[in-house]
Amino acid sequence: MPKHTPTRLGIKGQCIVLAVDVAKRNHVLMVQGPDGAREKPRRIGNSAAGFGALLQHAQTARRRWPGVPLVVALEPTGHYWLPLAYWLQARDLPVLTVNPAHTKRAKELEDNSPAKTDEKDVRVIADLAAMGRARPCRLQTGVYATLRALARLRARVAADLTAVTNQLHQLCDQLFPELLPCFGGDLRRTSCRRLLAVAPTPAAVQALGVERLTVLLRGASRGRYGAARATQLLAAAATSIGLREGTAPLVTRLHYLLEEEARLRGYRRALEQQQAAALRLVPYAAGLLQFRGLGVVTVATLLGETGDLQGFRRARQLLKHAGLNLYELSSGEHQGQRRLTKRGRPGLRRILYMAALRLLKRGAPPWVLPPPPRALGGHRGRGGGDAEVAARGACVGPQRPGLRRPAARSLTAATGMEVPLCVRGAPATSQITVDPIPGTLLHRMKHCRSRATAPRTPEDLGRWVRSGKADTTFFRFSQLGT
């Protein structure tokens, strides 16, 4: 996976630009030389013959300007550009992409007119690429291409499943409005869906009777619901305000939606199994799964959106790739408010937001996360990557001299909760710091309400945390004893 390049590519006046305006059936091609000379735009088909014609134009341009490097610049329009980009990459032709938002804003610089044509677009693409305003195309290959396709398919299936669930709620509100409150308003319960498949209307529920309804509910809920819930449903059916006329088509639609929902759920499970299988091929996927709040689906979607994380040299590059970098509109004495640019992958922003939301919903602060694995560039020192995580007696991560596994196990067993540990040098406000200097078993907690009640031993720590006297579960330790 190629590394990210600096902001300015430095190709102005030094490259032959083969600009392509991508379309569904026919692409528009134009060659611009290093001296700014342009050839007449030509149309090529979106086929093997058209791609061969593009290759011939590239060879002709190289003979006209010998010794000058050639790049292919295109605007990533929808999904039509992907076959051409992969075809060019397979033939070792450098591919640059021009942001469609840039071409939209720069088109009036061409002829001072808002007119838009394919010929004009290809000229704008060539100019932007020659000025260094294009970016290298990072096409996903191997397991990362598989993960991206699986993530997109699962997102589409999840959207279809939500639409089907909403339609089921709509039909229930028409046929039997009192049904869902009897099951806590949760249509996902197996007993509720089984009852809808057998008796979707109040009249059908009354026709079952108490005994048959009890047997149905007990079998679907594995004994959770019985005669009491059956009696409640019969009472609700007797006073129901559901529709009485024209219900046959609605019942048919309901049965179809129930089958469609079961099919989509099975499809989603199959996709998740494929995601788990693909993650086994990523060397550092196991390290990412150690982070609290990150499951198989989250990590698979994250890697599908970003590709190989080792292709990013700095964290700010990944932030910009996601569109999480900031911008402001300031002028003179006016200081604008900083906002997210959102000029990146929306799927990546969504999965990061959902992971953080799930983490906070479970009551764990975001800084519980251990430092990144060494495979992702972690290192010793501030914010380092050598982590020691103790999770209910299981230690994961590389060791450091001075920290022993039995010590971490005894600490976790005493507290009865997950206590993450990291090496000395991590941010002081984020994680537990292990000091390998022998001495006191336990130092005072940094953020405690009463210094007099700060624990001194792992046993005291466990009782103190469970009593609720601690503001947080992050402590400063010296060498731990067993």
Q: Which of 78, 107, 139 is where one domain is finished?
A: 139
Same domain, 151 and 135: no
- H-helix or E-strand containing 26? strand 26-32
The secondary structure of residue 39, as a DSSP letter, is: P
Same domain, 210 and 247: yes
- CATH no. for residue 112? 3.30.420.10
Predicted confidence at residue 425, as pLDDT, reads: 34
Same domain, 156 and 135: no
Predicted confidence at residue 243, as pLDDT, reads: 92
- Please give the C-alpha separations between residue 213 and each of 204, 206, 207, 224, 363, in angstroms, as whole numbers: 10, 9, 9, 13, 40
Q: With beta carbons less than 8 A apart as the criterion, state whether 360 and 366 touch.
A: yes
306 within domain boundaries: yes
Predicted confidence at residue 467, as pLDDT, reads: 59
The secondary structure of residue 1, as a DSSP letter, is: -
Same domain, 162 and 265: yes
Domain that holds residue 294: 288-368
Q: With beta carbons less than 8 A apart as the criterion, state whether 219 and 212 touch.
A: no
Predicted confidence at residue 333, as pLDDT, reads: 86
Same domain, 59 and 102: yes
Same domain, 246 and 201: yes
Cβ neighbour number for residue 423 with a 10 Å cutoff? 24
Same domain, 347 and 302: yes
Same domain, 314 and 267: no
Sign of CA dihedral 185, 191, 197, 198: negative
> Which ranges of 222-247 does DSSP label H, i.e. alpha helix?
227-238
Q: Which of 368, 403, 434 is where one domain is finished?
A: 368
95 within domain boundaries: yes
Tally the residues of the chain: 482
Which residues of the chain fall below pLDDT 70?
1-13, 362-482
238 within domain boundaries: yes
4 within domain boundaries: no
Same domain, 25 and 129: yes
8 within domain boundaries: no
Rounded to an integer, what distance in angstroms lies between the CA atom of residue 459 and that of residue 410?
9
428 within domain boundaries: yes
Single-letter amino acid, residue 457: T
Residue with tokens 């699962």: 154
Q: What's the gap between Cα 273 and its chain centre?
A: 17
Rounded to an integer, what distance in angstroms lies between the CA atom of residue 127 and that of residue 117?
16
Same domain, 53 and 130: yes
Predicted confidence at residue 94, as pLDDT, reads: 92
Structure pTM? 0.70
Sign of CA dihedral 13, 87, 138, 343: positive
| Contacts of 307-313 spanning 24+ positions with Cβ under 8 A | 307/1, 307/138, 307/140, 307/144, 307/148, 308/1, 308/144, 309/284, 309/376, 310/1, 310/375, 310/376, 310/377, 311/1, 311/2, 311/3, 311/4, 311/138, 312/4, 313/3, 313/4
- CATH no. for residue 232? 1.10.287.4070
Same domain, 154 and 203: yes
* Overall domain count for the chain: 4
- Please give the C-alpha separations between residue 151 and each of 80, 308, 342, in angstroms, as whole numbers: 20, 15, 20
Sign of CA dihedral 419, 423, 427, 429: positive
Q: Which of 308, 339, 368 is where one domain is finished?
A: 368
Same domain, 296 and 337: yes
